[in-house]
Amino acid sequence: MLKINLFRNSGLKLISVLLAGLLWLFVENEKTGLKSVEVALEYVNTPETLVLMPEGRETVTAVVRGPEALLPRLREGSLTARVDLRGETYGESRWLLTPDDVSVPYWAEVERVEPQQFSINLDNRASKAIPVLPDLKGSVADGYVFKDYVVNPAKVTVAGPESIVEGVREIWTDPLVIDGMTESFQQTVQLRVKKPGIVIESMEEYIVQVVIVPEMVERYFESVPVVAVSGEHVLELDQDSVEVWLGGPRLLLDSIGKQRLSAVLDASGLTPRPEGYQLAPTIRFTPPLAEQDQLEVAFYPPEVRVRLLDKANGNRPGATG
């Protein structure tokens, strides 16, 4: 019986298998194909006084030939083509892009570029300082109002094509939500560039202070009773009521009814005299109002005449019984 030793000359057999595999890979790689790939344009060496207009072309399509086994490695955006603007001048011109301008791996070759020609437009570079405006979103809480804002720094320097920079009047921040807010606050914000081709030259930290205050209103009250205070004398008043004007936060004034008000005349320490006294009233709230210092108060008339009578007989000074 014939015995076959499968492991005899195993080293030579392994080498033969490897050589066969390499040969197969070589044959497969030699099978070439075509692939269309999007190529990003890389603009370089732009003259210092010029800038590319934003509507310029950003990509082209390259038709690439290479081994079919390797072509899948070429993905969209993996290739670039340099557009060297050294020595270019102001205005619009036509640019010719050749296959040699596209960077590809050593195993690939660019057959053609589509489109091969395209326009480039260079404008003068310009810059200027413009105000920063906060983009406020929403409404403050009921009873409060947005009063003002302060941005620090108040301006920002932007740069870009002269024809675009001339039309830029302001730059906005990212949105600031003030919905339901009842008090002032400050927040660090980012700036939002809306115009293509415009860049921010000075990247500083921008802080917006938003001022929110109570809504201020006025209220008028008629026939508010006058109350006179005197420790030793009977008082005679020219009128027993006045009109009262209150100014202050709406939510506070909405809680105040006429029944809580009285106008107080303080005659303490005064002595009787025939012509009496013109006294300015003060406001009294019943029950007392803790937030009274938030209110402005005015009376009409602003003063009330008060006469001090003899406590024993109720006669005016100088009168006889």
Whether 11 shows a pLDDT value over 70: the answer reads no
Residues in the chain: 321
pLDDT confidence bin for 321, thresholds 50/70/90: very low
Q: Any alpha helices (H) in the chain, and if so which ranges?
A: 10-30, 162-165, 250-253
Backbone φ, ψ for residue 30 (5° rounding): -75, -15
The Cα 32–Cα 107 span in angstroms is 10
Amino acid 314: pLDDT: 54
pLDDT, tens digit, 9 for 90 and up, residues 84-93: 999 999 999 9
pLDDT, tens digit, 9 for 90 and up, residues 179-190: 999 999 999 999
The Cα 86–Cα 122 span in angstroms is 12
Residue written as token pair 């094509």: 161
Residue written as token pair 């109720």: 314
Mean pLDDT, range 156-181, rounded to an integer: 94
By the 8 A CB rule, do 251 and 233 touch?
no
Mean pLDDT, range 130-159, rounded to an integer: 95
Contacts with 59 (C-beta within 8 Å, 6 or more apart), sequence order: 38, 39, 40, 41
> Which percentage of the chain shows pLDDT scores above 70?
87
The Cα 242–Cα 284 span in angstroms is 13
Domains and CATH numbers, the chain: 37-124 (2.170.120.30), 125-214 (2.170.120.40), 216-309 (2.170.120.30)
Mean pLDDT, range 22-27, rounded to an integer: 52
Contacts with 54 (C-beta within 8 Å, 6 or more apart), sequence order: 161, 164, 196, 197
**CB contact burial 221-246 (16+ within 10 A = b; e otherwise):** beebebebebeebbbebeeeebebeb
By the 8 A CB rule, do 291 and 251 touch?
no
| Poorest-pLDDT segment among 138-142, 154-158, 211-215, 317-321 | 317-321
pLDDT confidence bin for 3, thresholds 50/70/90: very low
The Cα 120–Cα 58 span in angstroms is 11
Query: Is the pTM value of this prediction over 0.75?
Result: no
